Amino acid sequence: MNNINLIDSFQEFKDFKNIDRPTMMSVLEDVFRSMLRKKYGTDENCDIIVNTDNGDLEIWRTRRVMEDGFSEDDALEVEIAEAKTIDPDLEVGDDAIEQVTLESFGRRAILAARQTLVSKIIELEKDEVYKKYKDRIGEIVSGEVYQVWKKEMLVMDDDGNELILPKTEQIPADFFKKGDNVKAVVLRVDMQNNNPRIIISRTAPSFLERLFEQEVPEVFDGLITIKNIVREPGERAKVAVESYDDRIDPVGACVGMKGSRIHGIVRELKNENIDVINYTNNLSLYIQRALSPAKITSIKLDDETKRASVYLKSDQVSLAIGKGGYNIKLAGKLTGYEIDVYRENEENEEDVDLDEFTDEIEDWIIDELKAVGCDTAKSVLNLSVEDLVKRTDLEEETIKDVINILKSEFE
């Protein structure tokens, strides 16, 4: 019976796909009951016994013994003459029980059944993978890079399941080649053409949250709660944390002694700067902490428009804005407020607002300078040409022209 490879297919599935015993038995029984219905017209008087340990299969058919010439349904009844060939001791009214062998179905039916079995196995495998990863959304998974394409990367997990890491879900500094190990979070699971498509991500905030759970026991145990995470993948991230136990310093616990805990996370995220701050319901204080390391002089909140006007000393503006404007951008996302930075004029210092130069400098250039915290003439002149080139999208020649115009104001 085993040489027909029908049971072999089942065994392979059982050994490598980890499908539970009841499911496996159900699959096999469905396949064989379909064969019985095609052969005899019914399967209601047939019993199928499957041994999932060794792949043995037995099919038994029961029919009522009738007088010769009185059988009305060959599927459910058998005449006494034929019944005697099954068991000589049978009498009219007895149940004739005979074993049905696979060979009796014919080679064509067996091959068709094998194909049906394989098809059902593949469907089951897809369903199992879908259910498994649907329940793991938000969890970290590891795998090996199998293939790298222009827009995405194929990663194989330990069970041989295919995971997709799109380019858009990779940190800009990520560079993987075939055979590399990758750690990411399960972002979503889609079904495309009846195939599960598992999307993983290294840029999702949940990836950073799971890394904190791995590195900081207090976060994993729930002693420290992560209230919010915002990221600019590969550049900067801000994490607001809170502890309900006064004895625990949430920021200190997350950072670790001499940064021991957070260093592993930073390395995994390709040197992404991570600011861990204490969460508070006091919005002014929360915004102040979110703009760290800049020191704020004063702050005005407009709850209706969700805008915050922040005033700082000249040397703190660039810190508040941050490289590429990431610090102020992430602080806004973290707190839910649009943050406007204003330079506080120091005593006896004469300065001119950039808006006064609209006749000589184009509006879009002024807007570009304001975007990096330069809203007055001296705030621009206090920075070098190189700094301005790095922080803005302006050409060096344009910046030099602006500086000459501003200098002439004070000369």
How far is residue 406's CA from residue 411's CA, in Å, rounded to a whole number? 9
Indicate whether 184 belongs to any domain: yes
Q: Which domain holds residue 73?
A: 2-132
Q: At what angle do helices 6-17 and 21-40 cross, to 10 degrees?
A: 160
How far is residue 60's CA from residue 44's CA, in Å, rounded to a whole number? 11
Mean pLDDT value of segment 123-148: 91
Which of 290, 344, 286, 353 has its CA nearest to residue 320?
Answer: 290
Do 204 and 187 touch, CB atoms closer than 8 A?
yes
pLDDT of residue 179: 94
Are residue 157 and residue 46 in the same domain, yes or no? no
Could you tell me the two tokens for 40?
């005899």
Q: At what angle do helices 6-17 and 107-134 cross, to 10 degrees?
A: 10
State which amino acid sits at residue 352.
V
Q: Tell me what the pLDDT averaged over the chain comes to.
A: 86
pLDDT of residue 93: 87
Indicate whether 218 belongs to any domain: yes
Asked if the peptide bond before residue 166 counts as cis, ω within 30 degrees of 0, the response is no
Q: For residue range 51-83, list pLDDT tens digits in order.
A: 656 656 788 989 988 888 777 777 888 888 888
Are residue 64 and residue 121 in the same domain, yes or no? yes
CATH of the domain at 365: 1.10.150
Are residue 185 and residue 147 in the same domain, yes or no? yes
CATH of the domain at 225: 3.30.300.20
Indicate whether 380 belongs to any domain: yes
Are residue 187 and residue 216 in the same domain, yes or no? no
Indicate whether 284 belongs to any domain: no
Are residue 115 and residue 145 in the same domain, yes or no? no
pLDDT of residue 5: 46
Torsion of CA 264, 267, 271, 275, to 10 degrees: -20
Domain count, the chain: 4
Q: At what angle do helices 326-335 and 283-290 cross, to 10 degrees?
A: 150
Do 206 and 138 touch, CB atoms closer than 8 A?
yes
Alpha helix segments (H runs only) across 191-249: 205-215, 217-220
pLDDT above 50 for 260? yes
Last residue of a domain, one of 279, 302, 337: 279
CATH of the domain at 59: 3.30.1480
Mean pLDDT value of segment 164-170: 96
The model's pTM: 0.67
pLDDT of residue 348: 41
Could you tell me the two tokens for 334?
């973290």
Do 128 and 135 touch, CB atoms closer than 8 A?
no
CATH of the domain at 159: 2.40.50.140
